[in-house]
Structure 1
């Protein structure tokens, strides 16, 4: 399976955010998206998913134009930046609704064993992000979108999530963006950099340095 996106034009008022974007994401690979704040990374994921309407867009799967929003064809799981799970929901309820094995999760993230019965509100923002990312990655979908899965979580959890991503990519497309560029470069097979509304395929940190993008990583 190949997901291609191009001809996207998005304006906020008189400001053009995206124009001339091309992204190609393939089954069995992680495709990373990097860019400065305000470059349109989150907007791009929302447009592809279908919850943000641009002036123009073209989305294709295996060269076939998809005219419906992707969320309507039941092939995509999407982790947004904003909280996904209601604060009043019990952790166990979330795993039941998403049809994900709690026992397997708690073996991978042993410190979460005490959280089976509490509500989401009793977890830290980082712990909630771990839960949500794990649940999305274990959905039976052909395409996975992850918007900032590494933000607010500890380095130990980041490494475990990267391992899960590497395992889950085998039979699906994963599209991921985050501010932690080193993590994105490490987990991605292909990486695009958004600048001035356009996308560039990059090969590594040297290309980012040429774009004047890199900054000290906080990890």
Structure 2
């Protein structure tokens, strides 16, 4: 069975140890919520898994194949960073055709949200419109694993619900690791919850643990998951 296996990830910035022998695994069908306070290393970990940031130590494999370079991951893992990646002066329809195969390009271009943008250039879209465009491209890509860093940031409540449904639909044959400060919406769709705390990962079984470890205040509204 397919699996993304990440082990022994260590990363230091100057005198600060950000990641300390991190372990995380993900299989198609899983939606992993990766939670943690600012500076806990969530984005750093996702960048290392994707390959855009070096680590002091790492072991990453997919389907029993050890992965050492970004090139090796290009058909296995895609990463949605916090910053926009779409080129400003290119039309949306051309970006879709370049980024996706014929089948997925047709699906995106037929999406009611995207149809009004097809003839526009990226710099004519709002921040929220750019974000949902990027998410559609990454989620519809032909890879096994998708890493999403702050997918709900800047999105309207309507777009958030659309993004959640999209992730749930594609999680039937993809694995997702998602980090976002909008923890309620992340928890709403996740099957596994992992908290990054003091450079380590903790699997969370009960909502109260998020309070016990100091991620949430004691007055936080309880959610259905975990």
TM-score w.r.t. the length of structure 1 is 0.90
Say whether the 8 Å CA contact 2:52–2:70 is kept in structure 1.
no
| 1:182 corresponding residue in structure 2 | 184
Identify which range, 17-26 or 112-121, moves more after superposition. 112-121
Distance 1:40 1:199 in 2: 10
Unaligned 5+ runs, structure 2 = 222-226
Aligned to 1:26: 27
Offset, 1:81: 1.1
Paired positions, count: 214
d(CA) in 1 for partners of 2:17 and 2:7? 16
SS at match of 1:141: coil
Q: Which residue of structure 1 aligns with residue 224 of structure 2?
A: none
1:39 touches 1:197 (CA, 8 Å); kept in 2?
yes
1:90, distance to aligned residue in structure 2 (A): 0.9
Matched, 1:101 2:102: no
What do the CA deviations read for 1:34-81 (whole angstroms, capped 9, x no partner)? 10001000100111111111111111324x351422542421121111
Query: CA shift at 1:157, angstroms?
Result: 0.6
Partners of 2:175 and 2:92 lie apart in 1 by 27
1: CA distance between counterparts of 2:210 and 2:110? Answer: 37
Deviates more, 1:113-122 or 1:96-105: 96-105
Q: Does 1:135 align with 2:137?
A: yes
Output one character per residue of 1:135-159: Cα deviation in whole Å (capped at 9) or x when no partner.
Answer: 1000111111111111100011111
3-state DSSP of counterpart to 1:101: helix
Match for residue 148 of structure 1 among 136, 147, 150? 150
Question: For residue 75 of structure 1, what is the aligned residue in structure 2?
Answer: 76
Q: Normalising by structure 2, what TM-score?
A: 0.88
Deviation at 1:204, TM superposition (A): 4.4
Q: CA offsets, 1:5-54, max 9 Å, x none?
A: 12111000011100031112111111111100010001001111111111
Equivalence for 1:58:
59
Task: Provide the rounded CA distance (Å) in 2 between the counterparts of 1:94 and 1:65.
Answer: 31
CA distance in 2, matches of 1:188, 1:77: 19
CA contact (8 A) 1:4 1:23 kept: yes
CA distance in 2, matches of 1:130, 1:106: 14
Q: Against the structure 1 CA distance between its residues 9 and 92, is the aligned structure 2 distance closer, same or farther, given a 3 Å change threshold?
A: same
Q: Post-superposition shift, 1:122?
A: 0.8
- Return the alpha-carbon distance in structure 2 between the equivalents of residues 172 and 86 of structure 1: 26
Distance 1:26 1:11 in 2: 28
- In 2, distance between residues paired with 1:29 and 1:176? 11
Q: Helix, strand or coil for the counterpart of 2:171?
A: helix
